[in-house]
Amino acid sequence: MKRPSFIIVNSIILALILGWFIGNFITGTTVTKAIASIPGSPIVMDAKYNKEKHSIEYSVLNPGGTELAIVEEAFVFKPGKETKEEAYVLSHIPVNIKLPPRAITKVELALKAGTEKLHFGDVVMTTFTYTHGLSNDLYTVMHPFTMEKDTTGGKEK
């Protein structure tokens, strides 16, 4: 008589353990897919001035699971003490740069043609406007770049 109750108790325990594993797998897979589809905000990992091209080269990370697209760039130039150049604003520069998920992409921002090269103390405030496939909204990321005396030709501050 003790045999049937032993089998029933073990069957219930085994069913609970099996149900727990199956439930964790389904929940974990669903949560992972949901998190992977959330778009991230681009992060500027590095920025360097390229004197030959008169541009700033940004390394931009997309930490999210959805592709982002930079659709517009804008920047404000503020001269330092060594520059004779006037301050200027350039905005609404249309671009189409894709940022793949969980990858670093090089984004080059060409500075105003005909202006002198950046000098120490010059500041460029860059704004990237981007979108993602989950909405029609526009988002922005701003990044200040300051030329400082170092061996890389420029350093973000």
pLDDT tens for residues 114-155? 899 999 999 999 999 999 988 889 999 999 999 987 545 555
Q: Which helix (H) or strand (E) holds 46?
A: strand 43-50
Question: Which residue type does 19 have?
Answer: G
pLDDT recorded at residue 137: 93
Token pair 């659709």 in the structure block, residue: 71
Q: What is the average pLDDT value for the chain, to the nearest integer?
A: 88
Burial of 2 (0-12, 13-18, 19+ CB in 10 A): exposed
- Predicted confidence at residue 33, as pLDDT, reads 78
Residues ≥6 apart with Cβ < 8 Å to 30: none
Question: Does pLDDT of 67 surpass 60?
Answer: yes
pLDDT at 156 over 70: no
Average of per-residue pLDDT across 13-37: 85
> Options 2.40.50, 1.10.1660, 3.30.70, 2.60.40; which CATH number does 43-156 get?
2.60.40
pLDDT at residue 2 in the model? 62
| Among candidate residues 130, 126, 156, the one with its CA nearest the CA of residue 143 | 126
Q: List all residues 6 or more positions away from 149 whose beta carbon is below 8 Å from its beta carbon.
A: 120
Over 70: is that where the pLDDT of 46 sits? Answer: yes
Residue 83 has pLDDT above 90, yes or no: no
β 55-62/103-110 pair status = antiparallel
Q: Token digits for 93?
A: 């520069």
Which among 126, 109, 96, 121 is positioned nearest to 53, based on CA atoms?
109
Query: What pLDDT does residue 73 have?
Result: 95
